[in-house]
Amino acid sequence: MPSNEVSALLERRLRAQTQGEVLFDAASRGRYATDASIYQIEPVGVLVPRTEADIALAIDIARDLKVPVLARGGGTSQCGQTVGAALVIDNSKHIRRVLDVDPGQRTATVQPGVVLDQLNAQLKTHGLWYPVDVSTGAQATLGGMAGNNSCGSRSIAYGNMVHNVLGASAWLSDGALVDFGPLATLGTRAAAIAAFVRDLAARHRADIQARWPRVLRRVGGYNLDIFQSQGERPYTSDGGVNLAHLLIGAEGTLAYTRSLTLKLAELPRARVLGVVNFPTFHAAMDAAQHLVKLGPTAVELIDRTMIDLALANPAFRPTIASALIQSPAGGPAAILLVEFCGSDRNALLPRLKDLVAVMGELGLPDSVVQMPDDAPQRNLWEVRKAGLNIMMSLKGDGKPVSFVEDCAVPLEHLADYTDALTAVFARHGTRGTWYAHASVGTLHVRPILDMRRGGPEGGAAKMRAIAEEAAELVRRYKGAFSGEHGDGLCRGEWIQWQFGAAIGEAFRAIKRELDPAGLFNPGKIIDPPKMDDGSLFRFAPAGAPRPYRTIPLRPALDWSAWNVQNDPVTERTSAPGTGGDTTGGFAKAVEMCNNNGHCRKFDAGTMCPSYRVTRDEQHLTRGRANLLRLALSGQLGPDALASDALYQSMDLCVSCKGCKRECPTGVDMARMKVEFLAQFKARHGHSLQDRLLAGLPDYAHLASRFSRLINLRDAVPGAAWLSEKVLGLSARRELPKWRADTFWRSVDPAGFASRDDALAVARAGGKVAALFVDTFNGTFEVENALAAARVLKAAGYTVHAVTKSKGHFCCGRTYLAGGMVDQARAKAAALVDELLPLARAGVAVVGLEPACLLTLRDEALVMGLGEGAEIVAGRALLFEEFIAGELKAGRFGLKLTAADAPILLHGHCHQKAFGAVDAIMDVLRLIPGARPELIESSCCGMAGSFGYAASHYAVSIRMAELALLPAVRRQRDAIVVADGTSCRSQIAHGAQRQAIHVARLLERLLA
C-alpha cells in the first residue's frame, strides 16, 4: 500500500489533470474493496473516468507515483481479481459506448464499460448477438468479460470470450496505446510482443504439450499457446494467430483495454429445449458425453437441491415444476436442459425426437419434457441463470464458497469426478450443490463453509484441504482447475500447480514484457497470495490481524429471522435469534449481499432506480449494503452509522422494495433504510420536514378543516418558495389539495356495515370485506375510497369501513419513512388491534394505497406486534388482489361496460415487490374488450414524500423520465391506471395527465 503522502498526491494530481470523478474518501474506497468473491482489499482510491483521455492520464500519473492500477467493470468477479490495493478505475459509468457495428462483417467495436445485455439489445435490430452469454449479462461489462475470458451456457456452440474477440486496443503500462489483432496487422510494438511470445512458446513447446489441459474450458494463466493452440477448440477459426488473445483472461494484469472488436453471430431464430429427468445424479453426469453428440447449443445441469430451492421460491415454482416428471419414487435427482438452435423451429423438432431416442437407448425412456415454445424455455433459463443466487440465499454464517466451483474435466470422466468431489465434501463435513455447464464438463459447485471461523474447523482450513483434494482429482482426470471464473486470489496459487514451474516462469516473462513496471493488477496470475490468507477475507476469521466483528447495536426493528446459523450438510437453519449477532440480526441481513451486482441491471424490473439515474456505486443497493456492513463491523470508524457518508448513500434510496423482490439474496434495503434512519435520527434528531411529513396522519383530520388556508401555498405567489426555504418542500411541486369533505366526514355510516355486522355476515358465510381507508385516499382522494366501496357493493359484498371517531386508523408508513419506529409501531398496533377480530373471522382487509396496505404484510411483522400482526397480515389484501382472489374462487361477478380508450397500467413499486401486478392486470381484463398494457418502468420517482423534498426533485424527475413519463406521453388517448397516490401525482406533474386508481375505473364502467 503506498504511503499517505503518495495517495494524497495521487488524488491531487487526478483532480487537477483529469475530468473524472476522484473518490478517495473511506466510504468510496470501502464500496470498491469487494467483488463477488470472499475477499476484501481496500483500494488506494477510485477514479471514475469521463473520457478515454482520463484513463491514459491516470495510467501515467499512477506509473509516475508507483501506484498500481486496477481496471474495473461491473465488479462481479468471483475470485477476487477485481480487488486490490491499487487505483481502481471504474469504466462502467462513462466508458460505455458501442463505437461501431458492422452488420455485414458481423463485428462490433465497444468500449470496455459496455454491458453485454446493452450491446445485445442494440444488435437485435440487425438480427445479431454477441453469443458469450454469461449469467451476469445484465451487469457484466465486455472489458470484464475479456479480462476473465468469460464463457456462457452456450460455449459448446460458440466458445469462450477468447474465441469471439477479433482485436483489442490497449494501453501498456508505459503509456503506449497498442492495437492487438491478427499477426499480419500488427504495428511495431505489437509485432515485437508477438515475436517475444512466439519465441517463449517455442522454448516451452514440450512443457506446453505436456501440461496444457485439453478441455474447452481452460481459463487459468496466460494464453501462452496462441501459436500452438492446445485447447479442444482452436483460438481462431482460420488457424491464424491473433495477439489480442494474449490479453483475454489476463485479468487486467498485462494491459488496460481501451476497446474490443468482437465477432458477432446470427441471432438464432428458433430454439427448442428438451429437459431430461434423471433418477440419479450419476446417471445425469454419465449421459452428458452422449448428449453432446446430438449437437446441442447447451446442456445445462440443475441438481435436486437446486430443484428444491426453486420449488420453494414462489417466483420459480411453476416454471421448475413444469420441467419435472414425477415418478412413483418421487421427482428426478437431476435434470439436464438440452437446447438446440437454428433458423427454423419445425426443422428443430426432430432434434427433440433424437434426444428422446438417445435417452431410450440409455435406458431412460419417457424421461424428456419437450419444450418447443419460447416462453416456457425462457422462464426455465431464468431459473437456471438464477441458480447461484438461489443457492446464495442461505441464511447464517456458513455460505456456499467459490474456489473449486468451475474445475473442468473431460466429459467421459464427469460422473466419476463429481462423485469423487462429493465424497471430498462429505469428508470435510459439508456438501455442494451442482449446476451449470455439463456440456463442457464445467460444473459449478460450492461447498458451504463458515469463513469467519478460524482454526482447523474454520472455513479457511477446510477450503485449503478441499482445494488440494479437488486438485488431485482434476489431475487424475486430466482437467483444468480454472474453467470459467478465472484465477484471481482464490486460484492464483494453483496456476503453478497446473502448468508447472517452467511455464510459471514463462508467464512471469510475459508479464515483464508487457508490464515491466508491474503496474497492472499486481498479485493476480503472477505472485498471487495464498488463497486462504484470512487477512484478505471480507469476513476475516478469528486469528486474522483484524477479525470481522460486528458492533453492539439494539435495532429498532426485529431482524431475528436473519440471526441464525445453518448446518452445512442439511442446510437447516437454527431458530430465529440464535445466530449470535451483536446487532440482533441486522448485520446478518446486510451481509446477505454477496456483491453479485444484479442490482446494476437496467433492462427490467424495479431495482434499483437511484442507480439507474446516477450510475454511482454509492446509490446502488450493493453500495449501500457494503457501506452498512462496513459501518456495522466498525470498519469505517466509530459511530459510522451516524455519519454523513452513510446518510448520503441511503438518501436517494426511494424505499421502492425493488431489491426485496429482485435481489437474488433478498437484500431488503427499504427496511434497512428504516433501521438506518432510526439509528441516525436517534443521534441527530428529526428535522421540521421529517416531522411534518411523518405526522401527516395525525394532523390531517384537523388540517382538513383549514383546507382553503393551506391550499394557498400553491396559489399565493411566493408561498411555495417560502415553503421550500423553511420546510425544504420543492417549490416546483404542487402539494396535494386539501379538502374539508374527507372520507370520514362524507361517508354515510348507514351505507357501511358496522364491525359487528361484518363479523356476523362472515360467520354466516356471506360475502364481506373490511375497507381500510388510508390517510391519503381518505383525506385527498376521497373518490377512490367511495368508488372501491361502490364496486364491492355492486359485486354483492357487505362492506365495513374501518373508522374511528375523531380521526382514522393509520398503518404507520409515514413514520417509518422518517425512521420514527416507535410512533409507527403505535399506529400499526392500534390498526392491528382494530382489525384482528375481523381477520380472525376470516374477513379480508382490503386497502387501496399499496404502500399503506402492504405495510401490514411487511414492516408490521417486524415491529414486535406479536401473533395478531401475523393474523392480520394473512388477511390484508389490496383491492385488486381481493377481487382477483374472489374471481378465482368463483365468488366475484361484476357487470361492466367497455372502456372508451386503451388502458395503460403503471404498477406501484410495492405492488410489484409483493407480486400484485398480475392481480391488477386480471382485474383490468374484466373490462369487456380491454387489453391492458403494463408500462415497463422502475419507480415513478415520487416514492411517498421523497419527490416532494427540494433536495430530491431533480433525481425524482429523472427517475420518472427513464420510462414512465415517456410511455404515458406516447399514448395520448390512453386511460392511465396507477394505484399509488404518489405515482398519480408524479404523472400529473410530469406528463400533465390524470391517472386514476383501478377502483375509479371500475366504478366508472359499472353497467
Ligand X SMILES: Cc1cc2nc3c(=O)[nH]c(=O)nc-3n(C[C@H](O)[C@H](O)[C@H](O)COP(=O)(O)OP(=O)(O)OC[C@H]3O[C@@H](n4cnc5c(N)ncnc54)[C@H](O)[C@@H]3O)c2cc1C
Rounded to a whole number of angstroms, the minimum distance from the CB of residue 671 to ligand SF4 is 9
d(CA 323, CA 330): 14
Taking CB within 5 to 8 Å according to partner kind, which of ligand X, ligand SF4, none is near residue 256? Answer: ligand X
Taking CB within 5 to 8 Å according to partner kind, which of ligand SF4, ligand X, none is near residue 35? Answer: ligand X
Q: Contact between 251 and ligand X (CB under 6 A)?
A: yes
Residue 609-648 contact track with ligand SF4, rule CB under 6 A, x = bound = xx----------xx-xx-----------------------
d(CA 780, CA 739): 7
Question: Which residue lies nearer to ligand X by CB, 406 or 1003?
Answer: 406
**Between residue 575 and residue 604, which ones bind ligand SF4 under the rule CB under 6 A?**
593-599
Taking CB within 5 to 8 Å according to partner kind, which of ligand X, ligand SF4, none is near residue 812? Answer: none
| Interface size with ligand X, residues (CB under 6 A) | 38
Taking CB within 5 to 8 Å according to partner kind, which of ligand SF4, ligand X, none is near residue 73? Answer: ligand X
Taking CB under 6 A as the criterion, the residue among 17, 389, 582, 614 binding ligand X is: 389
How far are the Cα atoms of 65, 171, 839 from residue 189, in angstroms, in the given order? 25, 12, 77
Rounded to a whole number of angstroms, the minimum distance from the CB of residue 816 to ligand SF4 is 13
Taking CB under 6 A as the criterion, the residue among 140, 193, 652, 995 binding ligand X is: 140
- Which residue is it, cell 510482443? 193
| Residue 485 contacts residue 144 (beta carbons within 8 Å) | no
Q: How many residues does the chain have?
A: 1007
Question: Which residue lies nearer to ligand SF4 by CB, 493 or 616?
Answer: 616
Q: Who contacts 532 (Cβ-Cβ below 8 Å, separation ≥6)?
A: 460, 461, 463, 464
SS3 166: strand
Rounded to a whole number of angstroms, the minimum distance from the CB of residue 414 to ligand SF4 is 30
* Phi and psi at residue 341, to the nearest 5°: -120, 155
Q: For ligand X, which stretch binds (CB under 6 A), given 139-147, 198-206, 674-682, 758-766? A: 139-147
Taking CB under 6 A as the criterion, the residue among 7, 34, 82, 498 binding ligand X is: 82
In this structure, what C-alpha cell is assigned to residue 639?
Answer: 459511530
Q: Who contacts 198 (Cβ-Cβ below 8 Å, separation ≥6)?
A: 227
Q: Contact between 387 and ligand SF4 (CB under 6 A)?
A: no
Across 926-998, the runs of DSSP E, i.e. the strands, are: 933-934, 975-978
Q: For ligand X, which stretch binds (CB under 6 A), given 130-138, 291-299, 544-552, 745-753? A: 130-138
Across 78-210, the runs of DSSP E, i.e. the strands, are: 87-90, 98-102, 107-110, 128-129, 165-171, 177-180
- In a 13 Å sphere around the CA of 519, the CA atoms on its Cβ side amount to 26
Taking CB under 6 A as the criterion, the residue among 72, 163, 271, 993 binding ligand X is: 72
Taking CB within 5 to 8 Å according to partner kind, which of ligand X, ligand SF4, none is near residue 659? Answer: ligand SF4
Taking CB under 6 A as the criterion, the residue among 118, 120, 148, 230 binding ligand X is: 148
**Between residue 657 and residue 686, which ones bind ligand SF4 under the rule CB under 6 A?**
657-659, 663-665, 667, 669-670
Q: Contact between 152 and ligand X (CB under 6 A)?
A: yes
* Phi and psi at residue 574, to the nearest 5°: -75, 175
Residue 935-974 contact track with ligand X, rule CB under 6 A, x = bound = ----------------------------------------
User: Which residues sit opposite 20 in a β-bridge?
Assistant: none
Rounded to a whole number of angstroms, the minimum distance from the CB of residue 406 to ligand SF4 is 19
Across 103-249, the runs of DSSP E, i.e. the strands, are: 107-110, 128-129, 165-171, 177-180
Q: For ligand X, which stretch binds (CB under 6 A), given 148-156, 281-289, 415-423, 821-829? A: 148-156
* Cis previous bond, 608, omega within 30: yes
- Which residue is it, cell 453432446? 292
Question: Which residue lies nearer to ligand X by CB, 58 or 799?
Answer: 58
Identify the CA nearest to 800 among candidates 834, 850, 849: 834
Identify the CA nearest to 843 among candidates 878, 879, 874, 875: 875
Taking CB under 6 A as the criterion, the residue among 40, 91, 289, 803 binding ligand X is: 91
Taking CB within 5 to 8 Å according to partner kind, which of ligand SF4, ligand X, none is near residue 658? Answer: ligand SF4
d(CA 350, CA 469): 43
Q: Contact between 482 and ligand X (CB under 6 A)?
A: no
Q: Contact between 504 and ligand X (CB under 6 A)?
A: no
Question: Which residue lies nearer to ligand X by CB, 151 or 769?
Answer: 151
Residue 42-71 contact track with ligand X, rule CB under 6 A, x = bound = ----------------------------xx
Taking CB under 6 A as the criterion, the residue among 257, 430, 635, 655 binding ligand SF4 is: 655
Residue 541-580 contact track with ligand SF4, rule CB under 6 A, x = bound = ----------------------------------------
Rounded to a whole number of angstroms, the minimum distance from the CB of residue 406 to ligand X is 8
How far are the Cα atoms of 192, 450, 461 from residue 456, in angstroms, in the given order? 50, 12, 5
Rounded to a whole number of angstroms, the minimum distance from the CB of residue 608 to ligand X is 16
Taking CB within 5 to 8 Å according to partner kind, which of ligand X, ligand SF4, none is near residue 665? Answer: ligand SF4
Residue 106-125 contact track with ligand X, rule CB under 6 A, x = bound = ------x-------------
d(CA 685, CA 23): 29
- In a 13 Å sphere around the CA of 890, the CA atoms on its Cβ side amount to 0
Judged by phi (left if over 0) then psi (alpha if -120 to 50, else beta), residue 880 lies in alpha
- Helical H runs in 204-344? 205-211, 281-291, 304-311, 317-321
Identify the CA nearest to 11 among candidates 21, 460, 294: 21
Q: For ligand X, which stretch binds (CB under 6 A), given 146-154, 493-501, 862-870, 980-988? A: 146-154
| Interface size with ligand SF4, residues (CB under 6 A) | 28
Cα-Cα-Cα-Cα torsion 10, 12, 18, 21, nearest 10 degrees, comes to 90
Q: Contact between 736 and ligand X (CB under 6 A)?
A: no
d(CA 691, CA 406): 54
Taking CB within 5 to 8 Å according to partner kind, which of ligand X, ligand SF4, none is near residue 884? Answer: none
Q: Who contacts 360 (Cβ-Cβ below 8 Å, separation ≥6)?
A: none
Number of C-beta neighbours around residue 326 at 10 A: 10
Identify the CA nearest to 273 among candidates 208, 335, 226: 335
| Residue 181 contacts residue 153 (beta carbons within 8 Å) | no
Q: Contact between 485 and ligand X (CB under 6 A)?
A: yes
| Residue 810 contacts residue 818 (beta carbons within 8 Å) | no
First CA to last CA across the chain, in angstroms?
A: 75
**Between residue 26 and residue 45, which ones bind ligand X under the rule CB under 6 A?**
35-36
Q: Contact between 77 and ligand SF4 (CB under 6 A)?
A: no
Identify the CA nearest to 111 among candidates 122, 94, 89, 96: 96
Question: Which residue lies nearer to ligand X by CB, 143 or 268?
Answer: 143
- Which residue is it, cell 501459436? 227
Q: Contact between 607 and ligand SF4 (CB under 6 A)?
A: yes
In this structure, what C-alpha cell is assigned to residue 328?
Answer: 412413483
Taking CB within 5 to 8 Å according to partner kind, which of ligand X, ligand SF4, none is near residue 147? Answer: ligand X
Taking CB under 6 A as the criterion, the residue among 144, 441, 850, 932 binding ligand X is: 144
Taking CB within 5 to 8 Å according to partner kind, which of ligand X, ligand SF4, none is near residue 112? Answer: ligand X
Taking CB under 6 A as the criterion, the residue among 132, 273, 564, 653 binding ligand SF4 is: 653
Q: Which residues bind ligand SF4 (CB under 6 A)?
A: 593-599, 607-610, 621-622, 624-625, 653-659, 663-665, 667, 669-670
Q: Which residues bind ligand X (CB under 6 A)?
A: 35-36, 70-78, 81-82, 91, 112, 134-136, 140-141, 143-145, 147-148, 150-152, 251-252, 256-257, 388-389, 484-485, 521, 596
